[in-house]
Amino acid sequence: MAYLLEVAASWAVFYGVYHLLLRAETFHRTNRWYLLGTMLLGLIIPSLHFDLAASEAAPAYLLQPVTVGVQNLEAIVITASQREQGIDFQAIAWGVYWLGVVVSLMRFGFGLWQIGQLYRAGNIAPQQGYDLVATDAPHLPFSFFNNLFWSKNFVVTDEERRSIVRHEEAHIFQKHSHDVVLLELVAAFAWCVPFVYFYKKALKTTHEYLADAHVTAGFDKKQYGRLLLRQSHPGMQVAISNSLFSSQLKKRIVMMTKTNSPQRAAWKYLAVLPALAVLLMAFSLENGPLPSPSELLENQPVKNISKSYSLPSAMAVEDTVPVEHRLHYVAEMAAQFPGDEGIPNAEGGYDYPNKNLMKFIFENLRYPKEALEKGIEGMVFVSFVVEKDGSITNPEIKRNALGGGCEEEVLRIVSLMPKWKPGMMDGKPVRSLYHLPIKFKLDTDPASASRAFEMGEVDEMPEMAGCETLPTDERKKCSEEKMFQAIFTNVKYPKEAREKGIEGTVFVKFVIQKDGSVANIETVKSVGFGCDEEVVRVVANMPKWVPAKKNGQPVTSSFTLPVKFKLDEGEKASKPSEEVTLEVFPNPAGSDGFDVRFKAPAGRLSILFYDANAMKEVNEKFFDVEKGQLNTYRIRPEWVFANGKTGMAAISLRDANGKVLATTKVIVQ
């Protein structure tokens, strides 16, 4: 659909130039080629993709920007039950579009069939350069490719006959039928674009202008005009044909009597060049040069939320340095911080989430005291090289010197990094260059003792209650798991969002008071359709936290939480049959397990278990069932939970193609 919108915009611009500047000129042949050319350009431009930066050196790896004071939690994913999924409006739109294409092609085919019937039933007499087809059916004279169709019932004087024949010969010799067929095919697939009909009308009128000019070169213009008026019978025309008596007679008569346009008017055609340039820039140019460090963060749509950047595809920059010492800007396999594994993507490359790198930075980087006292904020842009043995060398502050100890703090963090897994090229380790943007941000006056501290400013981060007795390295994971479970258990996919097929991530920011209570909840990135309100509701009902600490004392701190609402691919399909049921009992269940009872169409089915504690799929059981049969299976807790035998799990019933038929939840205590 986006392609059709871009085609419509292109045709609107090109046709606008024609309508405003060219249609009144007598350059009919040039206008014909302008209309054909711009119509095809309108189809081509949206499918072109030029990369202005392709000729430049490949950029170094740009790591995800880090904002000091905002925790980098993975978004909690909330899924909706397919049994409550609404209408798929996108599928309906595509169905209407293809129905229109079929109807348009049938209409075009009917026109060809009409002409074929006349040709087969007519008497064919070869002429010089074409065939004259005499028919018994009543219709106006018309031409189609190298055939001139003339009804025996159409009677005119010899002089009028010569004028009509000369007119149709112009259509034949100038090959106007090729244009007509092309326009019909384009209009069939672009029937929903209004400007295609403007093009059809303008091109047919131009055909008539050309044929009229050919006739009046040897006949009296006034007499020819009277012939057009006298013999005009629009109800007797044949579809998709060239006919003397078609297309806006008044305009044709005015054009016949008009003085030829001066040659200087041909300069108007140059107006298409800026229009073409604008369309190319709008629809075909992409991936411009790498933005400056300040642009990377200043252009973010969400305040204080780090924006992810995908690493470029495989490319190495050749230079005169020997291969063993060459610095690779983009390798086949990027260098990886310990624990950050590359994930293969659809383009054949890898995506790098850099979660452990972000965790390392958040846990070690502190807002410099001098910068806090002076209210300094901004972004520091540091580069460094990952050597072939994984060590970090050449750390350098590239630009944006903030002062207040910010640059020194960033260099300190880089110097503390452990060895990375080096980048790979042709199966061998290579040196890689990285850029890392770190933004120092203060939301309020740092001198205010009552303000909420950001995560980077506290010595101990706030935690969910119940993890205090664990070792330090396990407390953060325990807290996140408890928070995930609290959100997953209580958030409901809003009905309005389900019905409209809405997906997205809601970011809420809230304050954890010194007593552990939650306050000042605000949405910093919205999805709408009830999703924002649902997340705010759940956060407001969270149990008390263990507050953050600074200098050994509890302090008020801010926290940003992402919650992602996502519909399963199977959930976007049509609603399931009423025969599908999925139940769990008892629920809550005990350590001895629970029963899953379901009914579905016959065939191969599976039940997939999603562990809400570990936030991952754990197990999948397959069954062969008969239609309408009620099936009950005993499930043991160890089949469901990755760690331990208690918690909460989501259960989905799927068919052989992986389509979700129904979902439910179970709690094992």
The confidence score (pLDDT) of residue 351 equals 55
Separation between Cα atoms, residue 306 and residue 560, nearest integer Å: 11
CA 446 to chain centre: 41
The confidence score (pLDDT) of residue 232 equals 58
The confidence score (pLDDT) of residue 293 equals 36
417 Cβ partners below 8 Å, 6+ apart? 337, 360, 392
Number of neighbours of residue 213 by Cβ within 10 angstroms: 16
The confidence score (pLDDT) of residue 63 equals 56
Nearest residue to 335 via CA among 439, 435, 438, 411: 435
In single-letter form, the type of residue at position 545 comes to W
Task: Give the CATH class of 576-668.
Answer: mainly beta
Residue 16 C-beta-side C-alpha neighbours within 13 Å: 11
Question: Which residues in the chain come in under a pLDDT of 50?
Answer: 51-59, 68-86, 234-236, 286-326, 328-329, 443-450, 573-578
Give me the residue spans of the domains in the chain.
92-257, 306-448, 461-566, 576-668
DSSP helix/strand/coil, 651: strand
Burial bucket for residue 284 (CB in 10 Å: 0-12, 13-18, 19+): middle
In single-letter form, the type of residue at position 368 comes to P
Separation between Cα atoms, residue 283 and residue 5, nearest integer Å: 11
Q: Which helix (H) or strand (E) holds 438?
A: strand 428-440
Burial bucket for residue 163 (CB in 10 Å: 0-12, 13-18, 19+): buried
The confidence score (pLDDT) of residue 173 equals 94
The confidence score (pLDDT) of residue 650 equals 78
CA 103 to chain centre: 29
In single-letter form, the type of residue at position 273 comes to L
425 Cβ partners below 8 Å, 6+ apart? 316, 328, 331, 332, 333
Separation between Cα atoms, residue 390 and residue 380, nearest integer Å: 23
DSSP class of residue 333?
A: B
CATH code of the region 461-566: 3.30.2420.10
Burial bucket for residue 442 (CB in 10 Å: 0-12, 13-18, 19+): middle
Cis peptide before 141 (omega within 30 of 0): no
DSSP helix/strand/coil, 606: strand
Q: What are phi and psi of 300, to 5 degrees?
A: -65, 135
> At the fourth CATH level, which superfamily is domain 306-448?
TonB (3.30.2420.10)
Nearest residue to 210 via CA among 14, 30, 40, 39: 30
Q: What are phi and psi of 139, to 5 degrees?
A: -165, 160
630 Cβ partners below 8 Å, 6+ apart? 581, 597, 598, 599
Nearest residue to 57 via CA among 290, 309, 324: 290
Domain 461-566 and domain 576-668, same fold? Reply is no
